[in-house]
């Protein structure tokens, strides 16, 4: 269960509704799991050289069931630079991206 997952939501101008839905469903699962520090969903605006950026959502390994429900794809652990937490513990960034968790 070490896989991260990524879901590309496309154009950032149209991603808010999807982000809200992911957050709401995540919070339900997060509560059921007793709010672990290493269960979180992050997002980042990425342009990859294009004019318009896309929103990519990254699901931590413990959010794998939710990730699969959104057809997110397995990926390597993302760089923490530019990531913002969508939902999860306020300690999730430090827990999941500390030097010891590499």
Could you tell me the maximum CA-CA distance found in the chain, to the nearest angstrom?
Answer: 41
Token pair of 85 as six digits: 């937490």
The pLDDT of residue 5 is 98
Look up the pTM and report it. 0.90
Split into its structural domains, the chain has a count of 1
Average pLDDT over residues 3-12: 91
Question: 47: pLDDT confidence band, cut at 50, 70 and 90?
Answer: confident
Q: What is the mean pLDDT of residues 72-85?
A: 93
Note down the domain range covering 45: 4-101
Tokens, residue 19 = 């982000």
Query: 3-class DSSP state for residue 5?
Result: strand
Asked if 61 and 55 count as a contact pair (C-beta separation under 8 A), the reply is no
Per-residue confidence (pLDDT) for residue 49, from 0 to 100: 67
């Amino acid at each position: 269960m070490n896989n991260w997952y990524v879901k590309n939501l496309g154009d950032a101008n149209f991603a808010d509704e999807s982000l809200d839905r992911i957050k709401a469903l995540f919070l339900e699962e997060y509560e059921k799991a007793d709010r672990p520090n290493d269960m979180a969903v992050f997002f980042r605006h990425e342009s990859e050289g294009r004019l318009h950026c896309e929103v990519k959502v990254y699901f931590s390994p413990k959010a794998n069931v939710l990730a699969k429900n959104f057809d997110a794809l397995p990926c390597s652990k993302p760089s923490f630079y530019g990531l913002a937490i969508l939902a999860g513990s306020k300690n999730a960034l430090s827990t999941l991206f500390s030097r010891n968790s590499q």
